[in-house]
C-alpha cells in the first residue's frame, strides 16, 4: 500500500475514533471525505436520487451511532462505510420489491452505466482509486465481471444471479470467486 | 491451505450474500483461521473498491446539513440536560484547523498536524466568530485533484466559509512554480462567465503553503475551485493551464 493511502486510512480511522466520542466536527469531516464516493455508489445501486439521498442519510446516521464498533484490523474505514450503506440500499431494494424489476432490467441498466462511465471517464481517471479498479475490471473476463457486479451493485444473491443468467449455481459461485480473487490480486499488485 | 469451498464462502461473505446461519458458522471458522481471515478481509476490500467505479455524482449540498441536524438532535436527546455542549475532541478544536489537517500526504500529515497544533492558538482568535455549531455546519471542505501527472503527489484542500466569503487553502507537495510564474486560485461560480480570482498562492521550497483568501467578487455558489499557473503576480482573468481542480 502506498504511504499516501496508508496515511489516508489512518486519518479515516482517527476520525471514526473521534466520532465514537461524539465529535461532530470529525463527523462532518468524514462526511466530506466519503460522501461523494458513497453517494455515487448508492445512486448506481438504487437508481433514484431521492432514494440515494435517504440511504446516504440513514447510512451516515448509522456511522454516527456505531462508530465505536469499527475495527481497523478488519477493514479500511471506507470499506466499512461502503458495506453499511450497501446493506441499507439492499434493504430498500428488497423492501420495495424492486429486486425482480432490477433483475429484469439489469442487463439494460448495466449497459447504460457502462455508457455513463465512458462519458465520465475523464473525471474518474483523475481519481486514482476509480481508475485503478476500472483497469482491474478490464483484466477480468466479462462473465466474471458481470457476476461480481450483479452481486455487488444489484444486491442479488448467487441464486438470483444464476437464475437471471441461466447458469448453474456452482458456475456463478466460481465466476464470482475467480472475479473477486483477480480483482484482489490486481489491487494488491498495484498497491 | 484454503480450499475452493472456503474461497466461495469468503467471497459470499465479502459480498454479504450468506444467510444468517452460514454467517455464524463462517465467522467461527474465521476466528480460528488467520489465513482465511486475511483472505476474507482482502476480498472485502476488493469488493468495496468496486464502489469507486460508479459514475461520479455529488450529493446535494443541503443533505450535509440535514444529516448534521439529525445527528445533533440524537446527541442532544441522549445527553442529560445539564451536561456541557458537545465539543470537538482531539487536535481539531477548530474547523479551520481540522480542515487544514486534510492537507495530508504521507509523512507530511504528521508534520502538518504538529504545525496545526502550533497554529491553533492564533487560529482561535482569528476564527472566534466561527466557533458556533452553525459555523461548523456551513463550512465547505473541497479536495482538489491533479489534472496533470506532475501534480499527482500534490494535495490541495480548501475550507470555504460562504457566509463570510473567505477561505483557507492548504497545499502540500506542490512542485515549485517555474521562474516568472505563480500559482493562482480560482473560484468557479455559475453566476459569472469567468472564474473568480482567489489570489496567488505562494508556495515555499518545501512545496507547502497555507493561504487565507477572499475572492475578488462575491461568490454565491461554488461549483469548483481550481488552481492554475499564471504569470508572476497573478492575472485578473485565468489564462494558464489548470493544474488542480475539485469541489
Parse chain A into domains and list their residue ranges: 1-96, 98-191
Q: Quick check: is B83 in a domain? A: no
Provide the domain limits for residue B37: 4-53
Shared-domain flag, residues B183 and B102 = yes
Q: Say if domain A98-191 classifies as CATH 3.90.1560.10.
A: no
Q: Is residue B226 part of a domain?
A: yes
Phi and psi at B214, nearest 5°, equal: -135, 120
Backbone dihedral region of A169: left (phi > 0), alpha (psi from -120 to 50 degrees) or beta? alpha
Q: Model confidence over A21-30: pLDDT tens digits?
A: 999 999 999 9
Virtual torsion, Cα B38, B44, B46, B48, nearest 10 deg: -150
| Chain A residue numbers touching B90 (CB-CB < 8 A) | 14, 18, 23, 26
Q: What is the pTM of this model?
A: 0.56
Pick B53's closest partner by Cβ from A32, A75, A133: A133
Task: Answer yes or no: do B98 and A29 touch at CB < 8 A.
Answer: yes
Q: Tell me the CA distances in angstroms from B192 to B216, B220, B230, one per residue in order.
A: 12, 10, 20
Sheet with B209-213: strands ordered across: B196-201, B181-188, B224-231, B242-246, B140-146, B155-161, B166-172, B209-213
- ipTM tops the 0.90 cut: no
pLDDT of the residue at A119: 34
Q: Residues 6 or more apart from B98 whose CB is under 8 A from it?
A: A25, A26, A29, B88, B91, B92
B119 and B14 within one domain? no
Residues 206-245 of B with CB under 8 A from A: none
Does residue B61 sit in helix, strand or coil?
Answer: helix
What chain B residue is nearest to A186 in terms of C-alpha separation? B46
Query: Distance (Å, rounded) from C-alpha B202 to C-alpha B217?
Result: 21
Give A30 to chain B, closest Cα distance, Å: 11
Q: Is there a common fold for A1-96 and A98-191?
A: no
Residue numbers in chain A where pLDDT is lower than 50: 98-126
Check: CB of residue B184 under 8 Å from CB of residue B199.
yes
CA distance linking residue B127 with residue B95, whole number of Å: 9
Residue at B82 is within a domain: no
Q: How many domains is chain B built from?
A: 2
Judge whether A31 and B67 are in contact, CB under 8 Å.
Answer: yes
Mean pLDDT score across all residues of chain B: 77
B32-46, B61-75, B199-213: which is most confident: B32-46
CATH code, domain carrying B102 = 2.60.40
How close does chain B come to A106, measured CA to CA in Å?
A: 15
Same domain, B47 and B97: no
Residue B119 lies in a domain: yes
Q: Which of B160, B136, B152 is closest to B88 using CA atoms? A: B136
Q: What is the pLDDT of residues A136-176, one digit of tens each?
A: 888 899 999 999 999 999 888 899 999 999 999 999 999 99
- The class that CATH gives domain A1-96 is mainly alpha
A28:B107 CB<8 A: no
Cβ of B77 under 8 Å from any chain A Cβ?
no
Residues B145 and B228 in one domain: yes
Examine residue B150 and state whether it is found in any structural domain, yes or no: yes
Q: Is A148 exposed, middle or buried (0-12, 13-18, 19+ CB in 10 A)?
A: buried
Q: Are residues B144 and B194 in the same domain?
A: yes
| Domain contains B79 | no
Asked if B59 and A158 come within 8 Å (Cβ–Cβ), the reply is: no
Same domain, B33 and B103: no
Amino acid at each position: 500500500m502506498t504511504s499516501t493511502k496508508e496515511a489516508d486510512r489512518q486519518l479515516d480511522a482517527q476520525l471514526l475514533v473521534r466520532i465514537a466520542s461524539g465529535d461532530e466536527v470529525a463527523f462532518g469531516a468524514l462526511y466530506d471525505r466519503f460522501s461523494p464516493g458513497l453517494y455515487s455508489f448508492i445512486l448506481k445501486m438504487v437508481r433514484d436520487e431521492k432514494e440515494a439521498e435517504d440511504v446516504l442519510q440513514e447510512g451516515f446516521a448509522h456511522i454516527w451511532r456505531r462508530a465505536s464498533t469499527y475495527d481497523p484490523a478488519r477493514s479500511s474505514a471506507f470499506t466499512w462505510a461502503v458495506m453499511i450503506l450497501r446493506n441499507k440500499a439492499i434493504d430498500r431494494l428488497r423492501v420495495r420489491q424492486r429486486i425482480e424489476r432490477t433483475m429484469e432490467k439489469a442487463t439494460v441498466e448495466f449497459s447504460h452505466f457502462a455508457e455513463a462511465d465512458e462519458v465520465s471517464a475523464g473525471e474518474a481517471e483523475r481519481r486514482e482509486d476509480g481508475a485503478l479498479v476500472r483497469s482491474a475490471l478490464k483484466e477480468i473476463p466479462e462473465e466474471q465481471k458481470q457476476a461480481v457486479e450483479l452481486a455487488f451493485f444489484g444486491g442479488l444473491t448467487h441464486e438470483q444471479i444464476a437464475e437471471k443468467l441461466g447458469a448453474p449455481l456452482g458456475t456463478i459461485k466460481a465466476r464470482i470467486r475467480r472475479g473477486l480473487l483477480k480483482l484482489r490480486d490486481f489491487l494488491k499488485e498495484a498497491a | 491451505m484454503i480450499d475452493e469451498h472456503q474461497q466461495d464462502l469468503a467471497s459470499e461473505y465479502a459480498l454479504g450474500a450468506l444467510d444468517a446461519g452460514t454467517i455464524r458458522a463462517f465467522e467461527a471458522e474465521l476466528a480460528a483461521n488467520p489465513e482465511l481471515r486475511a483472505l476474507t478481509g482482502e476480498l472485502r476490500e476488493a469488493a468495496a473498491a468496486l464502489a469507486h467505479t460508479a459514475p461520479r455524482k455529488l450529493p446535494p449540498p443541503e443533505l450535509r446539513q440535514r444529516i448534521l441536524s439529525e445527528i445533533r438532535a440524537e446527541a442532544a436527546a441522549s445527553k442529560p440536560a445539564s451536561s456541557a455542549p458537545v465539543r470537538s475532541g482531539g487536535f481539531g478544536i477548530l474547523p479551520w484547523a481540522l480542515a487544514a489537517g486534510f492537507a495530508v500526504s504521507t509523512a507530511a500529515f504528521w508534520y502538518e498536524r504538529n504545525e496545526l497544533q502550533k497554529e491553533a492558538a492564533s487560529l482561535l482568535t482569528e476564527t472566534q466568530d466561527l466557533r458556533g455549531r452553525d459555523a461548523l455546519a456551513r463550512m465547505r471542505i473541497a479536495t482538489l485533484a491533479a489534472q496533470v501527472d506532475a501534480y499527482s503527489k500534490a494535495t490541495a484542500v480548501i475550507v470555504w466559509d460562504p457566509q463570510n466569503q473567505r477561505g483557507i487553502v492548504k497545499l502540500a507537495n506542490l512542485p515549485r512554480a517555474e521562474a516568472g510564474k505563480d500559482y493562482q486560485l480560482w473560484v468557479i461560480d455559475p453566476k459569472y462567465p469567468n472564474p473568480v480570482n482567489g489570489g496567488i498562492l505562494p508556495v515555499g521550497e518545501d512545496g507547502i503553503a497555507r493561504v487565507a483568501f477572499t475572492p475578488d467578487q462575491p461568490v454565491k455558489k461554488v461549483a469548483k475551485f481550481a488552481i492554475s499557473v499564471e504569470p508572476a503576480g497573478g492575472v485578473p482573468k485565468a489564462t494558464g493551464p489548470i493544474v488542480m481542480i475539485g469541489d
